[in-house]
Amino acid sequence: MEHKTIDRFRGCLYGQAIGDALGLGTEFMTDEDIAWKYPHGLQHYKQIYQDRHRKRWEIGDWTDDTDMMLCIADEVIEDKGVNFYNIARHFKDWANGTPMGIGENTYKVLMIGDYVEHPFDVSHKVWEMSKYQSAANGGLMRTSVVGLFPKEVRTCAENICRLTHYDPRCVGSCVIVSELIHALVYGMQPPTLFQIKSLAQLYDAEICEYVDKAWCESDVKNLVDYDHMGYTLVTLSVALWTYWHTTSFVDGLLVVVNAGGDADTNAAVACAVLGAKYGYSSIPNEYIEGLLYKESLDKTIDSLLNICIKKQYGTSNKHKRPA
């Protein structure tokens, strides 16, 4: 049992990183763009078209999606548990460096001066300034690691999302994906369609519409909305579609990557779920070894395993501001 759990645990975070790194190759592309640049489809990191946008990253590197997921992981390793204010500090430190690909909403939140001291207030204010309309996928893109926490997954998913994305559509998306990953990794019964929709109703009824689309659509391209790239519910629907409609990690990876749109985020979230479903052992070695920072990722995963699987984990200080 523990061997399977570890395999799925590792598969989840590798899935995120691989989906992110390969998805960069078609990020912001339409069907026509992909057909021109990748006439036989994008399958390998070395194929990634080096235009002005993509050449900022080295081949095999991931983007802000996995960077921010690792901010959460680093805090859990540092504190042997969850402290929301320390996660905010990790986000801020990352943003003060060279945060390539950082989303507009995330940037607005993290650049406000007293963010570290009052992250939830700042995040809510930025949402308020958007007239309560901003529902980008910047919270969802990093939530995979939250599904690996051994307890309090829903509470942690909600609050870690709200550190930058306060809209209930964002929060509900993070909870659904985190709860699904948690069930898959720890050998529990995964939530059914009915249970996912019931969970969605707790946050925003619109989430249910996108869950239904994911269940009913025959082609993921019908979910990738080029006019609303970066919308959290589009990314959620793509992730659920791959979970329900694809038969292997590689099948899901390639179909999402070659659908374009916000492909790095869509594939990061979808492949985190698929990695949790099928395990690290299901991922072809070329995708693992091709990651630029594989050794660093391995160290992070090993440290997280020691905390989450071996139960050296606490959440008692999660609401406390750092001294």
Q: What's the rounded mean pLDDT across residues 181-188?
A: 97
Q: What's the rounded mean pLDDT across residues 243-271?
A: 98
CATH number at residue 303: 1.10.4080.10
Q: Is residue 169 part of a domain?
A: yes
Concatenate the DSSP letters of all residues of 36-62 into one string: HH-TT---SGGG----TTGGGS-TT--
- The DSSP secondary-structure symbol of 314 reads B
For residues 34 and 258, is the Cβ–Cβ distance under 8 A?
Answer: yes
The alpha carbon of 71 is separated from its chain's Cα centroid by a whole number of angstroms, namely: 12
Q: Is residue 317 part of a domain?
A: no
State the residue for tokens 């390969």: 22
Q: Is residue 313 part of a domain?
A: no
pTM, two decimals, is 0.96
Residue 85 half-sphere exposure, CB side, CA atoms within 13 Å? 13
The pLDDT of residue 316 is 45
Q: What's the rounded mean pLDDT across residues 28-38?
A: 96
Amino acid at 232: T
| 274-321 pLDDT per residue, tens | 999 999 999 999 999 999 999 999 999 999 999 998 764 454 455 566
Is it the case that residue 89 has pLDDT exceeding 90? yes
The pLDDT of residue 2 is 85
Amino acid at 262: D
Is it the case that residue 81 has pLDDT exceeding 60? yes
For residues 206 and 147, is the Cβ–Cβ distance under 8 A?
Answer: no
Q: Is residue 90 part of a domain?
A: yes
Q: Is residue 179 part of a domain?
A: yes
In 3D space, the residue among 10, 150, 13, 19 whose CA is nearest the CA of residue 70 turns out to be 13
Is it the case that residue 41 has pLDDT exceeding 90? yes
Is it the case that residue 1 has pLDDT exceeding 90? no
For residues 259 and 241, is the Cβ–Cβ distance under 8 A?
Answer: no
Q: Is residue 164 part of a domain?
A: yes
Q: How many angstroms separate the Cα of 110 from the Cα of each of 107, 117, 146, 232?
A: 5, 11, 20, 19
What is the span of the domain harbouring residue 59? 2-308
**The total number of structural domains that make up the chain:** 1
In 3D space, the residue among 47, 289, 276 whose CA is nearest the CA of residue 153 turns out to be 276
Residue 236 CB neighbour total at 10 angstroms: 30
| 5-26 pLDDT per residue, tens | 999 999 999 999 999 999 999 9
How far apart CA 240 and CA 215 sit, in angstroms, is 8
Q: Would you state the structure tokens that stand for residue 8, as one six-digit string?
A: 């799925």
